[in-house]
């Protein structure tokens, strides 16, 4: 079968299928109500970033050839398909919120007012709160077509209000002309949700939107207030810095980040109850195009639900078990000494991130440590990792940190963190021109007592960032090792990042831009060859996204040859299952309390199993426009540990779904005992710890 007849899901339509799976968790009545509210928040936050970054490309008159190869007509069709799907999803979102979440809150004595009309016993409080806490920060602005008008800020909720001058209405109410105003909700001054006094054992909460609506007449004393509807604009937040050099990239990035706030419109959300004449007036005034319009509900920016008040404590929330301790590291505090004898896996958030912090902090204070090198992609604010590196520099170590300034939405934080490190004497290397550096590496060089090997290297390689905050909610795996061949390969990667000559081939690590892509093809082809020889061919691939067409075609060819393939893909998956050329491929998606973020590649290899951990998803950008690393697990016990975790995920019949040929999320409920992968993984690692 020739590759030209293979079909693929569109990347962004596939992503919407993933985000719908997030929304499905809000319907899951087995979850505590505040966990369900959390998923509503995540869904909205995901969608906002999607419109800022992905949809922005479809609105451009010149499509970004780096990201897409569609014609303008095809892009418009996809944009229409996106908006149609999002509209349907948001309609369901509002049904979930209004018909499932709010009644469940009420059953637990928490009442969220769905309107500005409040009970008599709250009127005095609402009026007083408005006058004292809200009114001083309101800035209403009249909207006039074909005139200078206010600029609508990105991501902020505005209230659009129709007004009629009192005298005009009194003279001739039938022909009174509307005046239109918009007013930004002052979210930096007041929270989105306001707790009102409890009454009769019930807790009351109100949107700040409605507190303002209830008091609009005092904002516009010379007018009769007509109707009030919420509006919100999402603006293009994507930008490219291809070809920029080291000297100018930091300044260029800061400049472009600040211009995000005034980027082109990608979405104009409005309350679907707004009359057509009102919407048309706003569209003409602010030059909103039809394809930018997206009808929504009364309340916009529901990502704010992450801050919904919980007046009753933890009884309505989901409890997560404490991170596991690793016995070998508990019994021997000196991590570097342990690594001289064995490799170790760190599985977050199931196991404690403290071990990585200890690894870096011990290096910072060890008098024999000479040098530390680290890559940083997304840095936590007030990062303990950064503090360890600063301590190392102050203790006389040579510290080098590669900072990826092009990490989207973390550019400013990364820049200011790098400035802090530079002030402490750390050598900072900024982004490479034309490439993002996504590899997750830390490297320590230490003096040794071994006369033959006077310098000893230690390393940490990971599927996730050096970020202690995300490590609490992202599932990632890292390897601590002193394997000499690994150390040499990492040394070579840093030579590339520092602009030095690349002097040798990578022996164990697979590195994008060098040997990663051909090595993946070779391992897939090897499974095909095993099948041709009458043996078993089997591949398991766990990652966030699968989109690269070369890889898709290779997997299709393997399926046609008879190789069994299990894909565990959380997000974008452009491979279409259940086709003649993909009949041996199954796609599993897991959405649960932790974000599935690790990348694990398994190749059966006729029983001589190969297992890789990687920073890279199989996307065109990761494989061809980034520096990524994948590393084999050579220790047999650690290999068995990872294979065991993959088997648990494939056995999940509670939080896992199949992704079918129509991008539906089909729950994997079967006759086996209930198994939820994340809970089972915790128990599995706990048991391994006790056995060791």
CATH number, domain containing residue 281: 3.30.1840.10
- pLDDT tier, 61 (very low <50, low <70, confident <90, very high otherwise): very low
Burial class (CB in 10 A: 0-12, 13-18, 19+), 30: exposed
Q: How far is CA 555 from CA 137, 562, 564, 582, in A?
A: 58, 11, 10, 8
- pLDDT tier, 271 (very low <50, low <70, confident <90, very high otherwise): very high
Could you tell me the CATH number of the domain that includes residue 399? 3.30.870.10
- For position 121, what pLDDT does the model report? 95
- For position 678, what pLDDT does the model report? 98
Q: 3-state SS of 176-233?
A: CCCEEEEEECCCCCCCCEEEEEEECCEEEEEEHHHHHHCCHHHHCCCEEEEEEEEEEE
- For position 577, what pLDDT does the model report? 98
- pLDDT tier, 499 (very low <50, low <70, confident <90, very high otherwise): confident
Does 336 lie in the same domain as 221?
Answer: no
- Domain final residue, candidates 250, 282, 316: 316
Does 438 lie in the same domain as 367?
Answer: yes
Q: What single string gives the DSSP state of each residue in 248-287?
A: THHHHHHHHHHHGGGPPEEEEEEETTS-HHHHHHHHHHHT
At residue 343's C-alpha, the angle toward residues 340 and 349, to 5°, is 130
**What backbone torsions phi and psi does residue 50 show, to the nearest 5 degrees?**
-60, -45
Tokens of 508: 């164990």
Does 333 lie in the same domain as 261?
Answer: no
Q: Is 80 exceeded by the pLDDT of residue 113?
A: yes
Q: Is residue 556 part of a domain?
A: yes
Residue range 69-90: mean pLDDT, rounded: 83
Count the Cβ atoms, other than its own, within 10 Å of residue 562.
Answer: 15
Tokens of 545: 């996204």
Does 546 lie in the same domain as 460?
Answer: no
Express each pLDDT in 388-434 by its tens digit: 999 999 999 999 998 887 656 557 777 778 888 889 899 988 877 77
Tokens of 427: 């050598």
- Report DSSP state, residue 581: G
8 A C-beta contact, residue 627 and residue 493? yes
Q: How many H helices and E strands in the chain?
A: 21, 28
Q: Which of 544, 540, 549 is nearest to 574 (CA)?
A: 549
Q: Is residue 1 part of a domain?
A: no
- Report DSSP state, residue 303: G
**What is the β-pairing status of strands 474-481 and 141-143?**
unpaired
Tokens 């004595």 — which residue? 109
Answer with the residue of higher pLDDT: 174 or 376: 376
Residue range 44-62: mean pLDDT, rounded: 77
Q: Is residue 321 part of a domain?
A: no
251-260, 315-324, 342-351, range with the lowest pLDDT: 251-260
Q: Is residue 40 part of a domain?
A: yes
N residues, the chain = 692
Express each pLDDT in 603-644 by its tens digit: 999 999 999 999 999 999 999 999 999 999 999 999 999 999
Q: What percentage of the chain has pLDDT greater than the value 70? A: 90
Answer with the residue of higher pLDDT: 150 or 418: 418
- pLDDT tier, 261 (very low <50, low <70, confident <90, very high otherwise): low
Q: Is 80 exceeded by the pLDDT of residue 135?
A: yes
Answer with the residue of higher pLDDT: 238 or 554: 554
8 A C-beta contact, residue 563 and residue 585? no
Does 102 lie in the same domain as 82?
Answer: yes
Does 187 lie in the same domain as 242?
Answer: yes
8 A C-beta contact, residue 6 and residue 553? yes
The average confidence (pLDDT) of the chain is 89
136-150, 192-206, 217-231, 659-673, range with the lowest pLDDT: 136-150
> Residue 349: is the preceding peptide bond cis (ω within 30°)?
yes
- Domain final residue, candidates 505, 540, 564: 505
Q: What is d(CA 210, CA 198) in angstroms, rounded to the nearest whole number?
A: 18
Domain containing 647: what range?
Answer: 516-691
Strand order in the sheet with 110-112: 110-112, 202-207, 193-199
Residue range 252-277: mean pLDDT, rounded: 74
Residue 568 φ/ψ region, left for φ over 0, alpha for ψ in the -120 to 50 degree band, beta for the rest: beta
Strand order in the sheet with 179-184: 141-143, 179-184, 157-165, 223-235, 265-271, 293-296
- For position 65, what pLDDT does the model report? 40
Q: Is residue 5 part of a domain?
A: no
Strands (E), 349-388: 369-376
**Which residues are registered as beta bridge partners of 588?**
568, 658
**Which residues are registered as beta bridge partners of 230?**
159
**Which residues are registered as beta bridge partners of 197?**
none
Q: What percentage of the chain has pLDDT greater than the value 90? A: 70
Count the Cβ atoms, other than its own, within 10 Å of residue 393.
Answer: 21
Q: Is 50 exceeded by the pLDDT of residue 3?
A: no
82-96, 232-246, 530-544, range with the lowest pLDDT: 232-246
- For position 500, what pLDDT does the model report? 82
8 A C-beta contact, residue 648 and residue 633? no
- For position 505, what pLDDT does the model report? 87
- For position 62, what pLDDT does the model report? 35
Radius of gyration of the chain (CA): 28
4-8, 90-94, 357-361, 587-591, range with the lowest pLDDT: 4-8
Does 160 lie in the same domain as 139?
Answer: yes
Q: Is 70 exceeded by the pLDDT of residue 238?
A: no
Does 197 lie in the same domain as 301?
Answer: yes
Q: Is residue 473 part of a domain?
A: yes
Residue range 68-87: mean pLDDT, rounded: 79
Per-residue b or e along 173-209, where b marks 16 or more CB atoms closer than 10 Å to that residue's CB: eeebeebbbbbbbbeeebebbbebeeeeeebbbbbbb
Q: What is d(CA 443, CA 636) in angstroms, rounded to the nearest whole number?
A: 23
**What backbone torsions phi and psi does residue 447 show, to the nearest 5 degrees?**
-65, 140
Does 151 lie in the same domain as 243?
Answer: yes
Q: Is 80 exceeded by the pLDDT of residue 173?
A: no
Which residue among the candidates 149, 175, 438, 530 is catalytic per the annotation? 438
- For position 258, what pLDDT does the model report? 54
Per-residue b or e along 428-437, where b marks 16 or more CB atoms closer than 10 Å to that residue's CB: bbbbbeebbb
- Stated as kind and residue range, the H or E segment containing 443 is strand 440-447
- For position 187, what pLDDT does the model report? 86
Domains held by the chain: number: 3
CB < 8 Å & 24+ apart, contacts of 553-558: 553/3, 553/6, 554/520, 554/521, 554/524, 554/525, 555/524, 555/582, 555/585, 556/1, 556/3, 556/6, 556/581, 556/582, 557/3, 557/524, 557/528, 558/524, 558/527, 558/528, 558/584
Q: 3-state SS of 477-544?
A: EEEEECCHHHHHHHHHHHHHHCCCCCCCCCCCCEECCCCHHHHHHHHHHHHHHHHHCCCCCEEEEEEC
Q: Helix, strand, or coil here: 15?
A: helix
Give the N- to C-terminal CA distance of the chain in Å, as an integer. Answer: 49
Does 299 lie in the same domain as 391?
Answer: no
Q: Is residue 200 part of a domain?
A: yes
Q: Is 70 exceeded by the pLDDT of residue 363?
A: yes
Q: Which of 13, 176, 167 is nearest to 547 (CA)?
A: 13
Q: What is d(CA 253, CA 240) in angstroms, rounded to the nearest whole number?
A: 9
Q: Is residue 13 part of a domain?
A: no
Does 421 lie in the same domain as 468?
Answer: yes
Does 261 lie in the same domain as 117?
Answer: yes
Q: Is 70 exceeded by the pLDDT of residue 338?
A: yes
Q: Is 90 exceeded by the pLDDT of residue 502?
A: no
149 is catalytic: no
Q: Which of 408, 547, 540 is nearest to 14 (CA)?
A: 547
Q: Is 80 exceeded by the pLDDT of residue 309?
A: yes
Q: What is d(CA 679, CA 464) in angstroms, rounded to the nearest whole number?
A: 20
- Domain final residue, candidates 316, 341, 361: 316
- pLDDT tier, 667 (very low <50, low <70, confident <90, very high otherwise): very high
- For position 1, what pLDDT does the model report? 44
Q: Is 60 exceeded by the pLDDT of residue 174?
A: no
């Amino acid at each position: 079968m020739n590759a030209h007849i293979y079909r693929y899901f569109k990347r962004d339509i596939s992503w919407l299928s993933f985000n719908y799976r997030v929304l499905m968790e809000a319907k899951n009545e087995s979850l505590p109500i505040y966990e369900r509210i959390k998923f509503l928040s995540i869904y909205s936050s995901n969608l906002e970033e999607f419109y800022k970054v992905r949809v922005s490309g479809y609105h451009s008159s010149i499509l970004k050839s780096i990201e897409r190869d569609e014609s303008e007509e095809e892009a418009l069709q996809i944009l229409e398909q996106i908006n149609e799907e999002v509209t349907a999803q948001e309609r369901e979102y509002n049904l979930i919120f209004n018909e499932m979440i709010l009644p469940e809150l009420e059953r637990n004595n928490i009442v969220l007012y769905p309107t500005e009309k409040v009970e008599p016993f709250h009127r005095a409080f609402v009026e007083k709160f408005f006058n004292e806490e809200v009114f001083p920060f309101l800035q209403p602005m009249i909207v006039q077509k074909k005139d200078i008008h206010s600029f609508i800020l990105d991501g902020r909720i505005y209230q659009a209000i129709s007004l009629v001058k009192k005298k005009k209405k009194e003279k001739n109410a039938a022909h009174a002309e509307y005046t239109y105003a918009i007013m930004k909700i002052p979210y930096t001054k007041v929270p989105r949700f306001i707790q009102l006094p409890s009454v009769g054992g019930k807790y009351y909460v109100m949107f700040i939107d409605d507190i303002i609506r209830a008091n609009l007449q005092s904002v516009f004393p010379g007018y009769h207030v007509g109707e009030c509807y919420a509006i919100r604009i999402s603006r293009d937040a994507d930008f490219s810095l291809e070809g920029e050099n080291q000297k100018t990239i930091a300044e260029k990035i800061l400049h472009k980040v600040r211009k995000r706030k005034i980027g082109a419109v990608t979405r104009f959300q409005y309350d679907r109850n707004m009359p057509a004449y009102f919407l048309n007036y706003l569209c003409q005034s602010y030059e909103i195009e039809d394809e930018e319009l997206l009808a929504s509900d009364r309340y916009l920016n529901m990502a704010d639900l992450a801050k919904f008040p919980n007046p009753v404590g933890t009884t309505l929330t989901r409890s997560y078990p404490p991170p596991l301790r690793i016995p070998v590291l508990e019994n021997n505090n000196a991590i570097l000494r342990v690594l001289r004898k064995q490799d170790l896996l760190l599985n977050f958030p199931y196991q404690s991130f403290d071990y990585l912090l200890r690894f870096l902090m011990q290096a910072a204070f060890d008098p024999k440590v000479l040098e530390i090198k680290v890559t940083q992609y997304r840095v936590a604010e007030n990062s303990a990792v950064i503090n360890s590196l600063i301590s190392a520099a102050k203790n006389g170590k040579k510290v080098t940190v590669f900072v990826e300034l092009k990490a989207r939405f973390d550019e400013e934080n990364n820049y200011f963190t790098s400035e802090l490190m530079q002030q402490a004497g750390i050598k900072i290397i900024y982004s490479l021109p034309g490439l993002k550096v996504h590899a997750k590496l830390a490297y320590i060089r230490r003096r040794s007592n071994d006369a033959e090997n006077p310098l000893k290297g230690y390393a940490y390689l990971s599927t996730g960032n050096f970020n202690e905050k995300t490590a609490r909610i992202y599932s990632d795996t890292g390897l601590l090792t002193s394997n000499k061949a690994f150390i040499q390969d990492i040394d070579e990667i840093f030579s590339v990042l520092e602009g030095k000559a690349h002097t040798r081939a990578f022996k164990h690590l697979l590195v994008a831009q060098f040997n990663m892509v051909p090595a993946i093809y070779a391992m897939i082809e090897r499974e095909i060859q095993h099948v041709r020889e009458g043996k078993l061919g089997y591949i398991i691939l766990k990652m966030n996204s699968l989109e690269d067409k070369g890889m898709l075609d290779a997997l299709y060819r393997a399926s046609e040859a008879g190789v069994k393939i299990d894909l565990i893909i959380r997000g974008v998956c452009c491979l279409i299952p259940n086709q003649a050329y993909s009949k041996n491929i199954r796609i599993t998606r897991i959405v649960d309390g932790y974000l599935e973020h690790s990348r694990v590649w398994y190749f059966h290899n006729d029983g001589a199993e190969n297992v890789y951990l990687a920073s890279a998803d199989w996307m065109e950008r990761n494989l061809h426009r980034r520096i990524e690393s994948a590393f084999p697990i050579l220790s047999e016990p650690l290999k068995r540990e990872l294979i065991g975790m993959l088997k648990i995920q494939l056995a999940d019949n509670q939080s896992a779904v199949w992704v079918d040929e129509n991008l539906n999320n089909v729950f994997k409920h079967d006759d086996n005992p209930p198994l939820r992968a994340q809970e089972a993984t915790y128990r599995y690692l706990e048991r391994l710890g006790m056995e060791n």
